[in-house]
Amino acid sequence: MTDGLWWLPSLIVFGTAGLAVFVMVRVTAARRRRLATGTHDTLAALEQQAGVALVRTDDLVRSAEDEVDFASAQFGEAAAADFARAVASARDQLREAFQLHQQLADAVPDSESQRRRWNSRILELCTSVDRTLSEHTRQLDERRAVERNAPDLVAELRRSIDATEKRVEEAGPILERLASSYAPGTFIAVSDATGRAHDSLAAARAALAQAELRVSARESAAQALDTASQHLLTARHALDSVSRTASGLDAAAAELAAAVARVQATVDDARRRRDASEVPEAVDELTAGIDLATAALTRASDRTELPDPLDRLDTLREAEDRLDAALSSARSRQQRIESAREALRGALFSARSHLDVAATFIAEHRSRVGPDARTRLAEAERQLALAQAADDPVDALDIARRVSRLAQDADALARYDAGPRTAPYKR
């Protein structure tokens, strides 16, 4: 499919779904207003309502962000500018709501009045987001309804499906390379991506055939075109996940090689400092750190099994952290700062990697992922921004490591929510 026309299938996806989205937004907004102003019998009920509202609004904002991209491609950035600003404002309000939910989830006990106030504020923010997005969604739907051209879209969808089928063929060798290069568990989420994409494309062709019949009969083909577009997008998402996974694993493998060289140099430095040290406590601490790092280096270079580069990188990073802690007692402040700055790059990489894993899983299973996992993810994103903005590399390193832990918690909670249950998260 040509780059200039990639957005055309989305015309039907968002055009026909737009009215339903608008109605959903209005109904949800009315429900939120009742929840925000009504009398709640118990604090538990209020907290449950706030959690449900947070999940719904997060999904709504995610959909609106996609809508802005499609609107920009379809109508131009200037026409979509107001909507983009509204979505940005909505995202800011949602961040505030997630931060409040994080405060509620912290171990520090809060008073009942604080919990009521914070949960009520979450409901108010969600209601405001619903209200902000509803009018912009309605305006875009009206414009799309005017510009819809079913016969042209049938032809464009056919070309898009053909192009995507070529991508299925290209994804096969990528998966074969992953299977020969990395441990099976590292790409298990995309191991059946080509099969899923093939099935989705078959469903898209079937829906497109139905749309062609309805166009020929001068009947409404919107629903059939919508179905075809949705199946096409599902296939594309499956294929995109293959590319993202391959890129992520290759990047992790490259980072692992760099980390091995860096940690080996740190081990050599630690040995020199240990041998020159006259402080018995420092010698013992450095020796323990050297032994741990040496074992991690051996595992990182193991060629007897296919590697999980991210897992090996985490193990190596833990050993590096221990060794750095031992070295810090023998270094000046400036040396500690330089060491932290060097380690920060790897720590930020690990943080982003874990964050990407959690974000991808939550996005793909969001109908079954609850507010706790989403809150951990939002907090990890917030902490990552703090790490990137921190002037002190030592502080930034601590924050980056905290981001990794939060992202891993978010991933674990999301996977717990998503399986083995089959029912969507209660909304």
State pLDDT tens for residues 4-19: 444 444 444 444 445 4
Residue-level length of the chain:
427
Tell whether 35 and 97 lie within a shared domain: yes
State pLDDT tens for residues 323-346: 988 888 766 555 666 778 889 999
Q: Who's near 374: CB < 8 A, 6+ residues apart?
A: 54, 55, 58, 98, 362, 410
Tell whether 13 and 139 lie within a shared domain: yes
Asked whether residue 293 is domain-assigned, the answer is yes
Residue 242 has pLDDT above 90, yes or no: yes
State pLDDT tens for residues 258-302: 999 999 999 999 898 888 776 677 778 889 999 999 999 999 888
Mean pLDDT of the 50-58 span: 92
Tell whether 182 and 268 lie within a shared domain: no
Asked whether residue 427 is domain-assigned, the answer is no
Tell me the range of 104-108, 223-227, 270-274, 295-299 where mean pLDDT is highest: 295-299
Least trusted range by pLDDT, from 175-189, 214-228, 374-388:
214-228
Q: Indicate the pLDDT class of residue 411, thresholds 50, 70 and 90.
A: very high
Instruction: Mark which of 106, 121, 147 sits at the end of a domain.
Output: 147
Which of 120, 124, 197, 135 is closest to 165 using CA atoms? 197
Look at the block and give the residue holding tokens 């904002």: 61
**Total-model pTM:** 0.47
State pLDDT tens for residues 153-188: 888 899 999 999 999 999 999 999 999 999 989 888
> Which pLDDT belongs to residue 39?
44
Structural contact between residues 159 and 1, judged by C-beta atoms closer than 8 angstroms: yes
> Which pLDDT belongs to residue 37?
47
Question: Domain limits at 264?
Answer: 246-418
Instruction: Mark which of 88, 121, 147 sits at the end of a domain.
Output: 147
Q: Indicate the pLDDT class of residue 105, thresholds 50, 70 and 90.
A: confident
Tell whether 235 and 274 lie within a shared domain: no
> What is the rounded average pLDDT for all residues in the chain?
83
Instruction: Mark which of 114, 147, 180 sits at the end of a domain.
Output: 147
> Which pLDDT belongs to residue 424?
54
Q: Indicate the pLDDT class of residue 40, thresholds 50, 70 and 90.
A: very low
Tell whether 263 and 339 lie within a shared domain: yes
